[in-house]
Amino acid sequence: MKLKGAEIVVETLIEQNIKTIFGYPGGTVIDIYDQLYKKSDRINHVLTAHEQGAAHAADGYARATGDIGVVLATSGPGATNLVTGIATAYLDSVPLLAITGNVPNTLIGRDSFQEIDITGITLPITKHNFLVHDVEDLADTIREAIRIAKSGRPGPVLVDIPKDVQGASCEFTYKAPVEKTALKPADDKLVHDAAALIAESNRPYIYFGGGAVRAGAGALISELADKIDAVIGCSMMGLSELPTQLDRFLGMQGMHGHYASSKAMAKADLIIGVGVRFSDRATGDTEKFSKGARKIQIDADFAELGKNVDLELGCACDISDFLRKLIDAVDYKRNPNWMTKIDKLREQEAAQEYQGFLPRDAVMAAAALNDEDTDVVTDVGQHQMWVAQYYDFKKKRTWISSGGLGTMGFGMGAAIGAAYGSKKRTVLFTGDGSFGMNLNELATAVTYNVPVTVVLFNNGVLGMVRQWQTLFYNKTYSNTTLDRKTDFVKLAESFGAKGYKAENLEEFKEAFAEANKAEGPVVIDLTIDKDDLVMPMMKPGGSFDRLILATEEENRHE
């Protein structure tokens, strides 16, 4: 059948099993919106308050479902507003399709109204992007964009479509949904070599990240650890792939990781990295990082191997296949001395916990009141680290947070997207700084009655930057004291949402339980102390030998 470009865009998305897209209309996408209106029984469009919110929503949807997220925006400012969202998805390897309109082909290059070179702008933050000059190429370009976004190490792909291409007609035939390009199977020799390294090690540590989440490799990691008597730690991006309470799992390591997890990594003689990039927030100074340990790295992306740390062995392949083969190839072994050492580290960690720390208690209370499969979204800052440290994760893919880019303002859009993905109440933890960036999306949540509980850790300051100023800048609090006088309960109500104020744990629990019974969005404004710190902490560019501990910091105050 002969269709116009705009209709081809929508039909191709439907053909590719896209159920929900997020976006914002404008001059160069009116034709596509016209088609979305006509086909609204077959594809759902969510109108956000701002294109950035739409991009984060598509990202949150993708993270919650494991499927691709789709965002649509107009040319010029519509397209540039997507940039932070696309970059966020790129740094966390989230499959995202961004579709933008552009001025007609004949006007490109003339600085026309709302014309911008969005393929040029997004070049370094997309896996690939396309500018479609000819309607004949349109359907296949969208299909190929989806294939690229989902395959290998996933990531965002942008398709820019000039307005005249949307108006031109050509023959359209349905095709099957695209298949992901299969990952390479694990190389048997490398599996064998890895097994040999494991046999020689006495202190193995399995370190996994977002790649393991993407591959759903948690069970295999746990099985391998059991067989070779290893402990397990993860990067922030790896959270929720294994249950927090799993015995061998020491939790997140890194700059604000668990004491035992970071220390064990520093003392290990073999680190097996699974879908993790050894980022600077996880390793500190790479020269000093786990010097005594040999390193194995398994990743879907060959460019990750040895990028940040030197390796003994690297394999770019299907992570699950490698783990399965490795479990068969290794001998059962015990490392009693290592386990004794780990127990000591755990005792030391437990000794550092102090009572009555509201941010932790609130996170733990929320976890207890949530369902096991409630998606937990965060913004960026101290609250993010507290949730990462203390939330009791039970189900896979329930942790949604901006890791690589660290995007303040990510949360509100992402929580809306996640709620669409999971079709149930989502909890967003945010701070007054982050929430202030994209709180406009509260309007979206109200309009569509999206079940989102916003837990606002309100300390009147930009807490994480303030923490650095406290520790490393002589308490010179330059521009981190907000003191904005915003009444978040009234703000929520003025948007049409419910608002609660909580000053202590009991009030918080009550409000949270109320929120669980509500239908649409709820904001809980929880007052916390502006001098609460995220501990332990590794100094930026430091090493695990010198972690700053909560107890030390208290002593320093006295």
Partner 1 sequence: MSKNNFVIAVYVENKYGVLTRVTSMFTRRGFNIDTLTVGETESPEYSRITISLSGDRTDRMQLVSQLTKLYNVKKVEVLSNEEAIKRELLLIKVKNDLDNRAQIMDAVNVFKAKTVDYSSQAMCFEVTGDSNKIDAFIDNMKPFGIIEMCRTGIVALERGPDSILSE
Q: Which of residues 359-388 bind partner 1 (CB under 8 A)?
A: none
Catalytic hit among 4, 127, 150, 163? 163
Closer residue to partner 1 (CB): 140 or 531: 140
CB of 156 to partner 1, least distance (A): 13
Closer residue to partner 1 (CB): 161 or 419: 161
Burial class (CB in 10 A: 0-12, 13-18, 19+), 359: buried
249 catalytic residue (yes or no): no
Interface with partner 1 (CB under 8 A), residue from 128, 180, 333, 341: 128
The β-bridge partners of 452 are 426
For residue 529, the tally of other CB atoms under 10 A from its CB is 13
Interface with partner 1 (CB under 8 A), residue from 32, 99, 116, 148: 148
CB of 127 to partner 1, least distance (A): 7
Closer residue to partner 1 (CB): 119 or 426: 119
Tell me the residue type at 310: D
Q: Which of residues 282-321 bind partner 1 (CB under 8 A)?
A: 301-303, 305-307, 310
| Nearest Cα residue to 312 out of 328, 333, 298, 330 | 298
Tokens of 62: 């993708």
51 catalytic residue (yes or no): yes
Closer residue to partner 1 (CB): 144 or 361: 144
How far apart are the C-alpha atoms of 256 and 281, rounded to whole Å?
9
CB of 81 to partner 1, least distance (A): 22
Closer residue to partner 1 (CB): 178 or 526: 178
CB of 145 to partner 1, least distance (A): 10
Interface with partner 1 (CB under 8 A), residue from 119, 262, 389, 469: 119
265 catalytic residue (yes or no): no
Catalytic hit among 236, 385, 464, 538? 464
CB of 314 to partner 1, least distance (A): 10
Q: Which residue has the tokens 């709620």?
A: 419
241 catalytic residue (yes or no): no
| Nearest Cα residue to 140 out of 109, 178, 105, 112 | 178
Closer residue to partner 1 (CB): 46 or 296: 296
CB of 134 to partner 1, least distance (A): 12
CB of 307 to partner 1, least distance (A): 6
Span from 103-111, 126-134, 209-217, 288-296 in contact with partner 1 (CB under 8 A): 126-134
Interface size with partner 1, residues (CB under 8 A):
15
How far apart are the C-alpha atoms of 227 and 212, rounded to whole Å?
19
| Nearest Cα residue to 153 out of 45, 303, 261, 21 | 303
The β-bridge partners of 431 are 457
Does the protein bind partner 1 through residue 121 (CB under 8 A)?
no
How far apart are the C-alpha atoms of 244 and 388, rounded to whole Å?
10
385 catalytic residue (yes or no): no
How far apart are the C-alpha atoms of 270 and 256, rounded to whole Å?
22
Tokens of 61: 């949807």
Does the protein bind partner 1 through residue 123 (CB under 8 A)?
yes
Does the protein bind partner 1 through residue 122 (CB under 8 A)?
no
Spatial CB neighbours of 261, under 8 Å, sequence gap ≥ 6: 233, 250, 251, 252, 253
Interface with partner 1 (CB under 8 A), residue from 77, 109, 120, 541: 120
How far apart are the C-alpha atoms of 296 and 484, rounded to whole Å?
49
Spatial contact of 75 and 102, defined as CB atoms under 8 Å apart:
yes
Spatial CB neighbours of 435, under 8 Å, sequence gap ≥ 6: 379, 411, 412, 454, 456, 488
Catalytic sites, residue numbers? 51, 113-114, 163, 464
Residues that bind partner 1 (CB under 8 A): 119-120, 123-124, 127-128, 131, 148, 301-303, 305-307, 310
